[in-house]
């Protein structure tokens, strides 16, 4: 079975998937099956192995990793069984994001500018980072990996990020000017330097940024509608919602707009973009107005 797993992993990686977790899981399953003297995927064995996961979500992920492999290997060898993918009944849940208002984002940037030492590299870096995330919807990992060379006249070059894709993210003139001013103040030494750095000139680390952002949320007095505090990742949700609100009228134009948004955000398909959307009061008013216009037009015809 191990040879088939290696072939499967090589094929998936050739199409752009990292497969690091899948490799660990499948080899663990192969060892478990070998202890039972089995060289083919067996449904009960797959379920028994997946059950070793400590939570329903992890058991579900383990079994689905085997199912994906089984679908591939059964093409050449029908002796492999295909386990039921939804055996554990796990469902992916989505935490409701906090959609920041323009005023809240301004308060976050102002709070960042007051970080000590005031007027120093740290305060300027966090203010610029928050502003960039809010107007581009970049993943925080993408922003932290940016180098000076990635800031081009045509936009930001996002290199081999999630799903190993590289894309160009155009910037509004005001965003480009703000980033240019930041780099002029920061005075990087080379094109390979990271854009966002700490006090020592090293690339910012995610955990440091997350903790600092959480403190800025409190400093800015941003209170969530629900019990959970607003997150750094919610800036990406906010960008997606605002982009939807800016969609042109008409179904024929809205579709291409959403496809362009999916590409801009680096999604493999538009379903991933839908995951980031959230109903807001402004958005629902727009939907209601569009619905009333559609009904009124029908009555007049």
Q: What are φ and ψ of residue 152, in 5° steps?
A: -110, 170
Q: For residue 186, give the nearest of 133, 240, 126 by alpha carbon.
A: 126
Residue 31 to residue 37: CA distance in whole angstroms: 10
Residue 282 to residue 241: CA distance in whole angstroms: 10
Write down the H helix ranges in 74-161: 102-113, 121-136, 140-145
Which positions are annotated as active-site residues? 139, 162, 233, 236, 267, 276
**Exposed/middle/buried for 173, CB within 10 Å: 0-12, 13-18, 19+?**
exposed
Judged by DSSP in three states, 156 sits in strand
Residue 126 to residue 119: CA distance in whole angstroms: 11
Q: Quick check: bond before 101 cis, omega within 30?
A: no
């Amino acid at each position: 079975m191990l040879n088939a797993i290696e072939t499967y992993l090589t094929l998936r990686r050739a199409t752009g998937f990292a497969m690091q977790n899948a490799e660990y899981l499948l080899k663990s399953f192969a060892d478990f099956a070998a202890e039972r003297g089995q060289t083919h995927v067996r449904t009960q064995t797959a379920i028994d192995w997946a059950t070793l996961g400590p939570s329903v979500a992890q058991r579900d992920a383990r079994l689905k990793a085997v199912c994906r492999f089984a679908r591939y290997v059964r093409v050449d060898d029908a002796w492999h069984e295909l386990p039921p993918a939804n055996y554990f009944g796990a469902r992916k849940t989505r935490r409701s994001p906090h959609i920041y208002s323009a005023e809240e984002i301004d308060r976050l940037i102002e709070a960042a500018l007051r970080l000590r030492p005031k007027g120093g590299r740290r305060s300027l870096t966090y203010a610029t980072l928050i502003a960039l995330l809010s107007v581009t919807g970049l993943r925080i990992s993408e922003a932290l990996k940016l180098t000076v060379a990635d800031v081009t006249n045509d936009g930001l070059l996002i290199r081999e990020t999630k799903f190993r894709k590289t894309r160009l993210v155009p910037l509004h003139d005001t965003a480009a000017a703000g980033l240019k001013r930041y780099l002029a103040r920061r005075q990087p030494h080379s094109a390979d330097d990271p854009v966002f750095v700490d006090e020592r000139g090293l690339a910012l680390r995610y955990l440091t940024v997350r903790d600092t952002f959480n403190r800025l949320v409190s400093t800015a007095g941003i209170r969530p509608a629900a019990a959970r505090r607003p997150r750094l990742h919610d800036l990406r949700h906010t960008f997606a919602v605002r982009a939807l609100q800016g969609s042109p009228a008409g179904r024929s134009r809205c579709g291409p707009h959403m496809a362009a948004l999916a590409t801009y955000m680096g999604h493999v398909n538009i379903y991933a973009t839908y995951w980031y959307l959230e109903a807001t009061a402004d958005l629902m008013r727009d939907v209601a107005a569009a619905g009333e216009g559609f009904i009124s037009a029908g009555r007049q015809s």
